[in-house]
Every structure is written in C-alpha cells, then in structure tokens.
C-alpha cells in the first residue's frame, strides 16, 4: 500500500525514546522528513543517527522542553526553516508523576497541565496556519487507555488525557474544512521505560518483584503481553498517511484488548 508519506514533513514531540521515537522510526521508514525533539541533546543525536540508517528522508532534531511556550514556538519555526512546512504533527509528552489527591500540590497540577495538555494546544496552534494554507494536515495526539478507564494511582494522567480527547474531537470538527485530520491514539501497556518505571513503583508498593507486576498485568490483557513500540508506531504512521483520509475525530486504543469498555 502506498502510504503517501514520502517527502512529507513531520514534527514528533518527545521522541528521544519510547513511543515518540517509535512513531519517528515508522514515519522515517516511509520516507517522511522527521524532526525529533526532547530535552536531552546527546540522546537525540544518538536517535538521529540510528534513524538515519533506515530513513529515506531527512532526519534532524531540535532540543525542546515542551512545557515551555517559547521552546515550542522555536521548535516549529526551526522545523519549517529546515523542511519548508509541516504536514504531520505527532503530539506526545513525558508521563506526569503518580500521586493521590492528598499528596499532589497545585504546582504538580500546573506542571502536568503544562506538560500533558497545554503543550498539545500550543503545538497545534503553531502548526495549524501552515496546514490551513496547504489545505491538508494530520494531527495525532498520544494519550492513554485512561481516556476510557482511569488507571489507579495516576490521577494527573487520568485527568489531563481526557482533555486531549475533548480537544482533538472539537478541533477535528473545526479543522475538517481545511482537510486537517485530528485523531487520538491511546496506548494500554506498550513496553517502554515509562511502563517499566510504573511497574517498579507498583512493585515497591506491593513488596513484590517487577517481573511479578508485569506478569499480573499481562494476565489482564487479552493478547497476553505488553505491546511492542513498533506495533504502536505503525498505527500512528497509518493515521499520518494518505491511507487514513476518511478518519478524523477518532480516539483509538492500542492496548491488546486491555480496556473492557465497549
């Protein structure tokens, strides 16, 4: 299938590792020019080199703390200067801390809002003028299975991810006349550092091994295992491609059947 991604230009937020990196890899495989981003320059440099080996298009990176408005503006400007435009925005961010209502402070809430919701709004605001002008665009927002079923202990995440779905659905309607498609993809448990960290926290709380936590968790997933990052990246690449031209406003789970809601 021709994905129509060859020569397109993508910005992938928070892509020095994990799910963001996997999205960047799958887009690069299809010939998309990809701008990576994250806070750690050494890590970005390594990922750039790694992806360049399999990429048909141009790969570059910009150092960017997505919780800062100015960094976001500069990152998109740098991308447009380098590639000429932006066709695809992949919104992603690091996960917020765990914590319960009695422990989380106002500062924690503001920080999670900046990182996990406002950064998405800010990136979209920066790219939409380019997409409107070319009457085409793809905005794909990474959220979490918590948009369908809250995850115990992840109050901040559970709260702001649902905001992403509301934002994306609203914008899918507002931006449809410009052929800008806006969708949300939500991982269940895809094996990354973040999932390993969350399993480690739970293991400590329960006084069991990380392996035990993972095994118990995998039992709740009909496919019986954690997802692989490439299984996530491929779905995002499909949504970024011309093959998804009639999908907008959707909220899709990539969870091996973990969430039991209809």
Ligand X SMILES: NC(=O)c1ccc[n+]([C@@H]2O[C@H](COP(=O)([O-])OP(=O)(O)OC[C@H]3O[C@@H](n4cnc5c(N)ncnc54)[C@H](OP(=O)(O)O)[C@@H]3O)[C@@H](O)[C@H]2O)c1
Beta strands in 66-222 (DSSP E): 88-91, 137-142, 180-187
Tell me which of 75, 86, 115, 127 binds ligand X, using CB under 6 A.
115
Cα–Cα distances in angstroms (integers) from residue 236 to residues 168, 201, 224, in the given order: 15, 29, 22
Does 144 bind ligand X (CB under 6 A)? Our answer is: yes
- The answer to whether 11 and 37 are in contact (CB under 8 A) is yes
Residues in 74-113 at the binding interface with ligand X, rule: CB under 6 A: 92-95
Tokens 């990354």 — which residue? Answer: 192
Cβ atoms < 10 Å from Cβ of 15 = 28
**Element spanning 253, H or E:** strand 251-254
- The residues, ordered by sequence, that sit 6+ positions from 156 with a Cβ below 8 Å of its Cβ are 96, 97, 99, 104, 108, 109, 112, 116
Rounded Cα distance, 92 and 168, in Å:
13
User: Would you say 65 or 108 has its CB closer to ligand X?
Assistant: 65
Tell me which of 46, 58, 73, 194 binds ligand X, using CB under 6 A.
194
Stretch that binds ligand X, among 103-111, 168-176, 188-196, 214-222 (CB under 6 A): 188-196
User: Would you say 83 or 226 has its CB closer to ligand X?
Assistant: 226
User: Tokens at residue 8, please?
Assistant: 């397109």
Tell me which of 29, 122, 189, 202 binds ligand X, using CB under 6 A.
189
Residues in 42-81 at the binding interface with ligand X, rule: CB under 6 A: 43, 64-67
Residues in 230-249 at the binding interface with ligand X, rule: CB under 6 A: none
Rounded Cα distance, 225 and 78, in Å:
39
Rounded Cα distance, 204 and 213, in Å:
10
Number of residues near ligand X (by CB under 6 A): 29
Q: To the nearest whole angstrom, how small is the minimum distance from the Cβ of residue 4 to ligand X?
A: 26
Stretch that binds ligand X, among 104-112, 163-171, 184-192, 202-210 (CB under 6 A): 184-192
DSSP 8-state symbol, 7: T
Tell me which of 18, 57, 233, 256 binds ligand X, using CB under 6 A.
18
Stretch that binds ligand X, among 3-11, 25-33, 186-194, 216-224 (CB under 6 A): 186-194
Q: To the nearest whole angstrom, how small is the minimum distance from the Cβ of residue 39 to ligand X?
A: 3
Residues in touch with ligand X (CB under 6 A):
14-20, 38-40, 43, 64-67, 92-95, 115, 142, 144, 187, 189-190, 192-195
């Amino acid at each position: 299938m021709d994905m129509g991604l060859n020569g397109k230009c993508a910005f992938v937020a928070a892509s020095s590792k994990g799910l963001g990196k996997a999205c960047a890899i799958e887009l690069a495989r299809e010939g998309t020019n990809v701008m990576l981003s994250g806070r750690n320059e050494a890590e970005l440099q390594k990922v750039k080199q790694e992806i360049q080996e399999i990429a048909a298009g141009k790969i570059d990176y910009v150092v960017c703390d997505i919780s800062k408005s100015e960094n976001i503006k500069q990152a998109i400007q740098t991308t447009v200067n380098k590639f000429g435009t932006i066709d695809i925005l992949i919104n992603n961010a690091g996960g917020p801390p765990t914590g319960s209502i009695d422990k989380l402070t106002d500062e924690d809430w503001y920080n999670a809002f900046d990182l996990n919701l406002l950064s998405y709004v800010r990136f979209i605001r920066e790219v939409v003028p380019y997409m409107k002008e070319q009457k085409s665009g793809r905005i794909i927002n990474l959220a979490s299975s918590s948009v369908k079923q809250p995850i115990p202990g992840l109050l901040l995440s559970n709260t702001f991810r649902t905001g992403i779905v509301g934002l994306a659905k609203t914008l899918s309607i507002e931006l449809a006349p410009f052929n800008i498609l806006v969708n949300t993809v939500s991982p269940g448990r895809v094996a990354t550092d973040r999932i390993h960290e969350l399993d480690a926290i739970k293991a400590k709380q329960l006084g069991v091994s990380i392996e035990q936590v993972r095994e118990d968790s995998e039992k709740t997933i009909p496919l019986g295992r954690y997802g692989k990052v490439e299984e996530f990246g491929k779905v995002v690449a499909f949504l970024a491609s011309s093959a998804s031209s009639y999908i907008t406003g959707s909220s899709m789970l990539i969870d091996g059947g973990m969430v039991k809601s209809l």
